[in-house]
Amino acid sequence: MARPDKAAAVAELTEQFRSSNAAVLTEYRGLTVAQLKTLRRSLGENAQYAVVKNTLTKIAANEAGITTLDDLFNGPTAVAFVTGDPVVSAKGLRDFAKDNPNLVIKGGVLDGKALSADEIKKLADLESREVLLAKLAGVLKGKQTQAAQVFQALPSKLVRTVDALRAKQDEQGGAE
């Protein structure tokens, strides 16, 4: 491969690192082309899985400001570049690795922070962003309902207290 081709490949990989929320490095040794195709589908629409050359990818990652992955560029390496919800892609990788032990998650980076293979598996155990937002909305709605009940209780308690005072005054006035 000529030098301009390598420079173009590095530039493309650098742009992918910069435009991605997350990147997960894997070892794919022993996977068939059909299995790799299945893996790509399992990552979701917002992820791109690419088999890469270690040296060029290491240079591209460094140019993108990611130096924490340098130790992971050994052996056959592929990178999942995630532009959407990283939880969905992490789940896809974890589930595929359960069925295909030849896929080994090496580590990755999420929003500039290095992640170990175990941290990526923990990320996969999280619920998706949409589910977490729905739960948060439910909690907030519950708190609003509680606040409304408190605000409604205050005036009615005041009215009951005033009525009780009137009744007491009427009793005292009638007793005189």
3-state secondary structure 22-47: EEEEEECCCCCHHHHHHHHHHCCCCE
pLDDT tens readout for residues 2-30: 588 888 888 998 898 888 889 999 998 88
Q: Tell whether the torsion through CA atoms of 138, 123, 67 and 63 is positive or negative.
A: negative
117, 58, 54, 45: CA torsion to nearest 10? 60
Average pLDDT of the chain is: 84
pLDDT tens readout for residues 116-132: 888 888 888 877 777 77
| pTM assigned to the model | 0.67
pLDDT tens readout for residues 40-56: 888 888 888 888 888 89
